[in-house]
Amino acid sequence: MEATIYQQDVLFDRPVRASEQDHRGRTRLFLRLEHHGVIGVGEVAPQPFALNGDPGLADVARVLDATLAQLKDVVTREGELPLWSRVARLGNETPPRRVASALLEMAVLDHELRTHSHSITDLWPVEYATPTQSTVSLLDDDTPWHVPASSERVRAKTGPGPISSRSLERLASLSVPVLLDFNCSAVSDGDVLAQVAQAQRVCVVSAVEQPYAVGNLVDHARLHAQLEVDLSLDEGVRTLRDVSQIYRYGAATMLCVKPPRAGGLANARTMIERARSLGLQAYVGGFFESPYARRVHRALANCCTDQPSDIGDVRVATTDDEVHETNTSFGVEPSATLFEGATPLTLVRSGEP
């Protein structure tokens, strides 16, 4: 087995300003596994720094060696890569380890599917034509918005205070519902309710996302009782226990499940199914991944949810993240250009019996 971590830095075609972070680009980590002549690739795109309970790039990088060492031990002991469904159990106890586990799991799943010439739809049959969700910002009046015609919902990054007149004009031009995403920045119920009312004068507001801090279910439940639209939680959705607690407190009606935050695809699917069994609407979120990981997440969404999800491609300033169509696995693979332009960080080799 040979495992290499690659780092790819991209700039977005249009930055997206959030309440505590200006998304101008992203560092994406790719894991390329080769075992018995078959290659599998995984990807995660951590935030640049730790925020609202999510680990930063440096946090994830610090645990990657330990994560790969566990994989090496399994291969040395058993002579084969573990089944993809075992990866989440190798070590998932902290936020950085969950992201690292998600990276490893995707690569192992890709390898497993390619080894058997299977498609992801053999594992996850298509149940829904899951629509896409686009992201814009109400905190930046200068950057043009890009909302593809295929988008069925717009996530609008926002923060405390009234919406600017320019942003209201742009909201009025939308023909699809809007989700107001506070990213844990709201200061009071009254402020959130006032902003919803302001936006509703010019557009359809479908939901408010994560107004208060991670784990603050009491304040979310109180606000939820006052809202005439859905309340969604995002940063506060990490484990199955979170899903159960959100339902128990009546803190939300919608959940954004992000596979890297959940520890991988298997955990994310279980969380989505659990949410749906409780009558909660669940959708797949993302961290500005490349078209490769977005296609993988789309396969998950098409199996699990009909809610608009972050499964559309992220526009970047270059074309270094091009992908190629394939007949097996996820139906797509990173191009050679991507790896040629990326920086190799870690190389792990394990002897094969």
Is the pLDDT reported for residue 343 higher than 50? yes
Q: Where are the domains of the chain?
A: 2-118+331-349, 122-304
- State the burial class of residue 102 (Cβ atoms within 10 Å of its Cβ: 0-12, 13-18, 19+): buried
Q: Report the percent of the chain where pLDDT is more than 70.
A: 98
pTM > 0.75: yes or no: yes
The top-level CATH class assigned to 122-304 is alpha beta
Average pLDDT, the chain: 94
Q: What is the CATH number of domain 2-118+331-349?
A: 3.30.390.10
Q: What is the predicted pLDDT for the residue at 238? A: 96
Is the pLDDT reported for residue 97 higher than 80? yes
Q: What is the predicted pLDDT for the residue at 341? A: 86
Q: What is the predicted pLDDT for the residue at 353? A: 40
Place of tokens 């226990």: 241
Distance CA 256, CA 196 (A): 20
Question: Same fold for the domain at 2-118+331-349 and the one at 122-304?
Answer: no
Q: The tokens of 86 are what?
A: 């075992």
Higher pLDDT among residues 347 and 148, named by residue: 148
Q: How far is CA 40 from CA 57, 216, 337, in A?
A: 22, 39, 17
pLDDT tens column, 161-178: 999 999 999 999 999 999
Beta bridge mates, 33: 3, 40
pLDDT tens column, 37-96: 999 999 999 999 999 999 999 999 999 999 999 999 999 999 999 999 999 888 778 999
Place of tokens 């998600």: 102
pLDDT average, residue stretch 285-308 = 97
Q: Name the residue among 341, 325, 343, 344 with its Cα closest to residue 333.
A: 325
- Is residue 88 within 8 A of residue 51, CB to CB? The reply is no
